[in-house]
Copies of this chain bind each other. A is one copy, B any other.
Amino acid sequence: MAASSSSAPATLHDVAREAGVSLATASRSLNGSTRKVNEDYRQRVLAAAARLNYSPNFSAQAVAKGSTSTVALLVSDIADPYFSSIAAGVIRAAEAQGLIVTMAVTERSTERELELVRALRGQRPRVMILTGSRSDGSTSQAALIAELQAFAGNGGRVVLISQEGLPFSTVVVDNYLGARALANSLVGAGYRRFAAIGGARALVTSRDRLAGFADGLAEHGIAIHPDHIVRGEFTRDGGFAAATELLTGGLDQVDLVFAVSDVMAIGAMSALREAGIDVPGDVAVAGFDDIDTARDVTPALTTVNIPLADLGRRAVELALSDAAVTADEVTRVETRVILRASSPPR
């Protein structure tokens, strides 16, 4: 029976005493490097540990060893399917390596991101994985890089997901090419007149996708009228609001609305629907990311697939790879255009 009143957890010391061996022997039996201890002793220690319900104190181990086995993961918003899918990949890969994941949420604020990185350094994680769009021109950008470099200088591994160009290992998504391919596919499907919903101007992801899309159209001599480019937050509600804004200008000159992310596209579709506009009858819609629900909305959403869970897995692998210790590595993931019912051939 476990003690019902609050008492301290059993320590290695307790186990050693219970087993009648030294602290060192107990340590070696339970964690220490492979085989060095007599099997008899081993068994006695294990039995004692079980009897006392011993659980090694990770903090103490970390202090003694000078290293932890935790991975720190920063996301913008864990309730956003884009990030939660990536997080699932990170956690799965980390757990497979016996690593524990600690998660922090930046709420899309670069200041908060900086604060969190600073705070998380105290954890001395083996790895820090940052995901979410870089936004250049932010005043904290330089400070963030400095902070991360300090962390890396102390032996920590930094991996960025999705944005290239920072001096760290990165899992790169080619947003530009993906969007360009999407534009090409849509033109191939017969679309000619486009509107676009972007995120904040400073967000690199938004910019790359918008640029790729525009360039893809340009290859066919098509341009998006400036009035048909609106911006909103990188959220469902942002997409909803942006589409609403688009509606005030009228959508008669538009065949298809491209939103730089699926969640925005889905918000936009809801706005259109509520305004009595038929998708894709009156206007088609396309997004980017291929989140799970993209196939479950009606009409199913045309988009660009990113293997999100893979992004997380690759980030962990990259962090743990030997190659990335000496020099920053970049691994690229493929994107793939997925045409669905929200943009039928016309």
Q: Which of A2, A119, A309 has the most CB of B within 10 A?
A: A2
Are B153 and A4 in contact, CB atoms less than 8 angstroms apart?
Answer: yes
Are B121 and A2 in contact, CB atoms less than 8 angstroms apart?
Answer: no
0/1 interface trace, chain A 110-154, chain B, CB 8 Å (1 if under)? 000000001111111000000000000000000000100110011
Residue in B closest to A299 when the chains form the complex, CB atoms: B298
Bound Cα distance from A118 to B58, whole angstroms:
12
Are A59 and B63 in contact, CB atoms less than 8 angstroms apart?
Answer: yes
Instruction: Tell yes or no: A9 within 8 A of B by CB.
Output: yes
Instruction: Tell yes or no: A87 within 8 A of B by CB.
Output: yes
Instruction: Tell yes or no: A252 within 8 A of B by CB.
Output: no
Neighbour of A55 across the interface among B55, B79, B100, B122, CB < 8 A = B122
- Chain A interface residue count: which class? 35 or more
B-binding segment of A36-44, A179-187, A220-228, A288-296: A288-296
User: How many monomers of this chain does the complex have?
Assistant: 2
Instruction: Tell yes or no: A88 within 8 A of B by CB.
Output: yes
Are B118 and A91 in contact, CB atoms less than 8 angstroms apart?
Answer: no
B-binding segment of A197-205, A243-251, A263-271, A313-321: A263-271
Are B9 and A58 in contact, CB atoms less than 8 angstroms apart?
Answer: no
Are A57 and B53 in contact, CB atoms less than 8 angstroms apart?
Answer: no
Instruction: Tell yes or no: A105 within 8 A of B by CB.
Output: yes
Are A124 and B273 in contact, CB atoms less than 8 angstroms apart?
Answer: no
Taking A9-B124, A55-B122, A123-B58 as contacts, is the C-beta distance between A100 and B101 under 8 angstroms?
Answer: no
| Chain B positions within 8 Å of A267 at CB level | 296
Instruction: Tell yes or no: A327 within 8 A of B by CB.
Output: no
Residue in B closest to A101 when the chains form the complex, CB atoms: B103
Give A contacts to B, CB under 8 Å.
Answer: 2-9, 53, 55-60, 62-63, 66, 68, 70, 77-81, 84-85, 87-88, 91-92, 95, 100-105, 118-124, 146, 149-150, 153-155, 236, 266-267, 269-270, 273, 292-293, 295-299, 309
Would you mind naming 22 contact pairs between A and B with Cβ atoms under 8 Å apart? A2-B149, A8-B66, A8-B154, A53-B150, A57-B124, A59-B59, A59-B60, A59-B63, A59-B124, A78-B84, A78-B87, A79-B88, A87-B103, A91-B103, A91-B104, A100-B119, A100-B123, A101-B103, A102-B103, A236-B292, A266-B296, A269-B298
